[in-house]
C-alpha cells in the first residue's frame, strides 16, 4: 500500500509518501518527502495553485491508494483556520481529480498510533517515524515529520480495517 500523508498549512504544507508492506509486522519505507512553502506576500490564488500542483504531482507520480490528512482543530484562531482551509481545499480537489480517497486523523489518533499514547511530544512522534522508516535522523522540519506520521497512521488503521473516508 502506498499512502500520501499531508500536514495541511498555507505557509508550510508537509507531503510524505510511504510504501507499507506486511501482514503481521508492517514494513514501511519512505518514497518521498517535501514541504511546500508559500509566502504571505503572494496572491492567494498563487499559493493555493502551487499547493494544488505539488499535491497533484505527488498523486500522479506515486499513485497512492489513499491520501491521509491531519484534522485541524482551531479554537479562536479564525483567520488561521480560514487560510489552512485554502490549503486543505487544494488537497481535496487534487485527490478528487486523481480519484484517491481521503482519510482524516486527529493529532491524538496519530500520537496513539505511533507512540502508543495520545500525549506524545512532536519529538517522540518524529523518533517513531524515524524508526519505522529506517531513517538515520528524525525527519525534519516538523511539517514533513507530521505528514509522514499521518501516512503511517493511515497504514495502521487500514490494516485494522478501521479507516473511513473523509
Question: Which residue positions form the known binding site for Mg(2+)?
Answer: 7, 70, 143
C-alpha cell at 160: 485494522
Residue 110: count of CB within 10 angstroms of its CB: 27
C-alpha torsion sign, points 89, 94, 96, 99: negative
Cell 514501511 sits on residue? 28
Distance between CA atoms of 145 and 143, rounded to whole angstroms?
A: 6
Based on the residue annotation, tell me whether 143 is a catalytic residue of this protein. yes
Catalytic pick among 52, 70, 146, 157: 70
Write out the H or E segment, with its range, that includes residue 14. strand 12-21
Question: Helix 107-115 crosses helix 122-133 at what angle (to 10 degrees)?
Answer: 50
Based on the residue annotation, tell me whether 70 is a catalytic residue of this protein. yes
Annotated binding site: 7, 70, 143
Residues designated as active site:
7, 70, 143
Amino acid at each position: 500500500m502506498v499512502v500520501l500523508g499531508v500536514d495541511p498549512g498555507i505557509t508550510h504544507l508537509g507531503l510524505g509518501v510511504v510504501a507499507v508492506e506486511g501482514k503481521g509486522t508492517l514494513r514501511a519505507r519512505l518514497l518521498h518527502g517535501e514541504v511546500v512553502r508559500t509566502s504571505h506576500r503572494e496572491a492567494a490564488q498563487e499559493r493555493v495553485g502551487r499547493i494544488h500542483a505539488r499535491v497533484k504531482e505527488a498523486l500522479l507520480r506515486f499513485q497512492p491508494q489513499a491520501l491521509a490528512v491531519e484534522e485541524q482543530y482551531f479554537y479562536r484562531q479564525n483567520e488561521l483556520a480560514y487560510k489552512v482551509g485554502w490549503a486543505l481545499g487544494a488537497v481535496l480537489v487534487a485527490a478528487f481529480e486523481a480519484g484517491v480517497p481521503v482519510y482524516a486523523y486527529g493529532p491524538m489518533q496519530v500520537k496513539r498510533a505511533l507512540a502508543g499514547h495520545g500525549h506524545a511530544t512532536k519529538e517522540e512522534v518524529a523518533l517513531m517515524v524515524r524508526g519505522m522508516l529506517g531513517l538515520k535522523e528524525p525527519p525534519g522540519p516538523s511539517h514533513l515529520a507530521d505528514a509522514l506520521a499521518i501516512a503511517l497512521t493511515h497504514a495502521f488503521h487500514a490494516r485494522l480495517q478501521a479507516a473511513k473516508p473523509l
